[in-house]
């Protein structure tokens, strides 16, 4: 009897078991009774690359803000405004010049006139500059540069005048050399040097000047000039003049 009941029960529920097995084999059942579909990766949006960038090589990664800027070429010489040369000016030792090329900027240079009167320029080497006007030096550099450059365009700028000096010595507050960058009289030089000292002999002042290769002595009476007498003796000084105040 028991055996007959078990056979009957299995025959009764075998269709239900078959359905459940089929459902389990087909995939998981959702609460709504629908079978879940396998998930797929989202499609890339138009224009978006699906290729990943290659990994950075060791030692090449830079931190934000630490990236080095591209190396810049050396800056060319900036033309100086220059000093207007006084009348009759010729280049002398210690003067600072700028020799500028219009197209060949790498040949431009700022130079100081050496004691031997020469300047050293790129490509041209030594060029004599002493006792030349700026225009004469420009012509000389241009002619020399034509050996190496086609149709050079050269400009000479006087940046500093250090060769034009006058000297004052003796009974003044600040004796010594003074640059002569503008027209200067004897009285103006004495004032620049701080004036006469208490024991100076103002009417025995002498100006020593070199003219045509020989030394010339010119008198200067301080008291007369300050009283507006004999003003012609208050001469304009020249480079190299020496004022002696006893």
Torsions phi, psi for 109 (to 5 deg) = -155, 150
Q: What gap in Å lies between CA 6 and CA 9, rounded to an integer?
A: 5
The domains located in the chain, with CATH, are: 96-160 (3.30.1950.10), 165-245 (3.10.560.10)
DSSP symbol at 105: G
> Could you count the other beta carbons within 10 Å of the beta carbon of residue 41?
6
Mean of the per-residue pLDDT values for the chain? 79
What pLDDT, on a 0 to 100 scale, did the predictor assign at position 105?
A: 87
CB 157 within 8 A of CB 101: no
Transcribe the chain into DSSP letters.
Answer: -HHHHHHHHHHHHHHHHHHHHHHHHH-PBPTTSPBPPPP-PPPPPTT---SPPPPPPTT----TT-PPPPPPPPPPPPPP---PPPTT----TT-EEEEEESS-GGG-EEEE--TTSEEEETTTEEEE-TT--HHHHHHHHHHHHTTTSSS--EEEEEEE--S-EEEEEESBSS-EEEE--S--BHHHHHHHTT-B-TT--GGGEEEEEEETTEEEEEEE-HHHHHTT-SGGGSPBP-TT-EEEE-
What pLDDT, on a 0 to 100 scale, did the predictor assign at position 103?
A: 87
Kind and range of the H or E run holding 10 = helix 2-26
pLDDT tens by residue, 183-242 = 899 999 999 999 999 999 999 999 999 988 899 999 999 999 999 998 999 999 999 999
CB 163 within 8 A of CB 94: yes
Instruction: Give the percent of the chain with pLDDT over 70.
Output: 67
More confident site: 86 or 76: 86
Least confidently predicted of 45-54, 98-107, 231-240? 45-54
As a whole number, mean pLDDT of residues 151-178 equals: 95
What pLDDT, on a 0 to 100 scale, did the predictor assign at position 98?
A: 96
Give start and end residues of each alpha helix (H) in 79-200. Answer: 134-145, 186-192
As a whole number, mean pLDDT of residues 8-27 equals: 52
- Four-CA torsion 225, 228, 233, 235, nearest 10 degrees: 90
pLDDT tens by residue, 108-163 = 999 999 999 999 999 999 999 999 999 999 999 999 999 999 999 999 999 999 99
What pLDDT, on a 0 to 100 scale, did the predictor assign at position 81?
A: 74
């Amino acid at each position: 009897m028991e055996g007959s009941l078990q056979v009957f029960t299995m025959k009764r529920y075998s269709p239900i078991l078959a359905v459940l097995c089929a459902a389990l084999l087909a995939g998981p059942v959702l609460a709504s009774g629908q079978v879940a579909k396998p998930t797929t990766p989202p499609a890339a949006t138009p224009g978006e690359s699906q290729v990943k960038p290659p990994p950075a090589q060791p030692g090449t990664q830079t931190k934000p803000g630490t990236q080095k800027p591209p190396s810049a070429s050396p800056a060319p010489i900036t033309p100086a405004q220059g000093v207007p040369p006084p009348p009759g000016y010729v280049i002398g030792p210690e003067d600072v010049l700028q020799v500028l090329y219009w197209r060949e900027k790498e040949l431009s240079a700022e130079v100081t006139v050496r004691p031997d009167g020469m300047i050293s320029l790129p490509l041209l080497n030594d060029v004599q500059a002493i006792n030349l006007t700026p225009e004469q030096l420009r012509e000389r550099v241009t002619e020399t540069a034509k050996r190496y450059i086609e149709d050079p365009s050269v400009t000479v700028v006087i940046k500093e005048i250090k060769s034009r000096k006058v000297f004052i010595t003796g009974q003044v507050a600040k004796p010594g050399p003074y640059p002569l960058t503008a027209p200067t009289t004897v009285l103006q030089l004495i004032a620049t040097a701080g004036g006469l000292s208490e024991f100076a002999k103002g009417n025995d002042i002498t100006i020593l000047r070199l003219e045509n290769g020989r030394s010339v002595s010119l008198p200067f009476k301080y008291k007369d000039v300050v009283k507006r007498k004999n003003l012609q003796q208050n001469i304009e000084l020249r480079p190299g003049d020496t004022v002696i105040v006893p």
